[in-house]
Amino acid sequence: MNRRNFIDKSIKGIALGATFGQFSFTQDKINEEYEKLVLLHTNDTHSRLDAFDSGDFKGLGGVAARKTIIDKIRSEEKNVLLVDAGDIFQGTPYFNMFLGELEIKAMSMLGYDAATMGNHDFDAGLDNFNKQMQHANFPFIVSNYDFSDTILHNKIAPYKIIKKGKLKIGLFGLGIELEGLVHKDLYLNTQYLDPVATAKKWATYLKQEEKCDIIILLSHLGYSYQGGKKISDVVLSEMIDNVDVVIGGHTHTFLKSPEVIKNKFGKFVIVNQVGWGGINLGRLDIYLQKETKNSIKSESFLLKCQ
């Protein structure tokens, strides 16, 4: 098993309001001036607990390969955050038989810090999702689904604040519109809230009220759509302030390296998505200046799970 196979590596330097070049000083200098966060992420794993046994992805994916990589990174790095952008359920007989129990248990074993919900996570209904949440030792975060008239009331958080070392990290989640995509009987009285207004609300709150050093959006809106009008990660990132990183899902987009988008406020947002099926594990090494916390450099890796 290959513990750490980099199939792509790119260095992008960005700051809140200005573009940086590559690191031009030593690792000791970086350690002295910057706080480092290693952000690991998955999306659309779709019940793929085992590696693919045939086809173009034969030998790739699976929880065992992912755990090997994650454990190695955690043994080497101090501040590691592991997140998922939804569609954990549906795709193999494991889900057909156990309805998500094994998937959630596997994520708990891997030590996920947070996840958002995708449309397929509703595939066995709200009662089932509520049942499977007992196996999660991490929070599910969705800001734009109003569950107040459902069994999930007060069980899904709109945001989460996590501390890693000296860094205060704010996370919130956005889900895709369920009407027309998921049968009404599965999501019942869940109300869909406008993702743009919701993103503005929680990003502003996390930055201004909670004073988070970095804000990460877990999105299941989809990376991009033809025509450019439908709300996607790319469109949303251009419209909102205070979000530093968007970890996306839904469209199964294989990005070899993150896209860096300049929003209408003149600031930069990192947008990333790593395909589907657990084939890849995304890694972003994010450096924040220790004194100001408002200057960011990042280094990205795409880790193939095999």
Q: What CATH number should be reported for the domain holding residue 153?
A: 3.60.21.10
CA distance linking residue 209 with residue 211, whole number of Å: 6
Instruction: Decide if pLDDT at 22 tops 90.
Output: no
Q: Is the dihedral of CA 177, 179, 185, 190 positive or negative?
A: positive
Q: Are 141 and 173 in contact (CB under 8 A)?
A: yes
Q: In terms of residue numbers, what domain contains 144?
A: 5-304
pLDDT digits (tens, 9 = 90+) for 168-199: 999 999 999 999 999 999 999 999 999 999 99
Q: How many domains are there within the chain? A: 1
List the structure tokens of 302: 């795409």
Residue with tokens 């952000």: 39
Residue 164 phi, psi (nearest 5): -125, 110
18 versus 259: the higher-pLDDT residue is: 259
Instruction: Give the E-state strand segments of the chain in sequence order.
Output: 5-14, 19-20, 34-42, 80-84, 114-115, 145-146, 159-164, 167-174, 191-192, 214-219, 245-248, 259-262, 268-272, 280-289, 296-304
The string over 217-244, giving b where at least 16 C-beta atoms fall within 10 Å of a residue's C-beta and e elsewhere, is bbbbbbbbeeeeeebbbbbbbeebbbbb
* This prediction's pTM: 0.92
Q: How does residue 26 score in pLDDT terms, banded at 50, 70 and 90?
A: low
List the structure tokens of 182: 């998921």
pLDDT digits (tens, 9 = 90+) for 256-296: 999 999 999 999 999 999 999 999 999 999 999 887 766 67
CA distance linking residue 306 with residue 62, whole number of Å: 8
Q: Which of 12-21, 64-73, 165-174, 256-265 has the lowest mean pLDDT?
A: 12-21
Residue 167 phi, psi (nearest 5): -95, 135
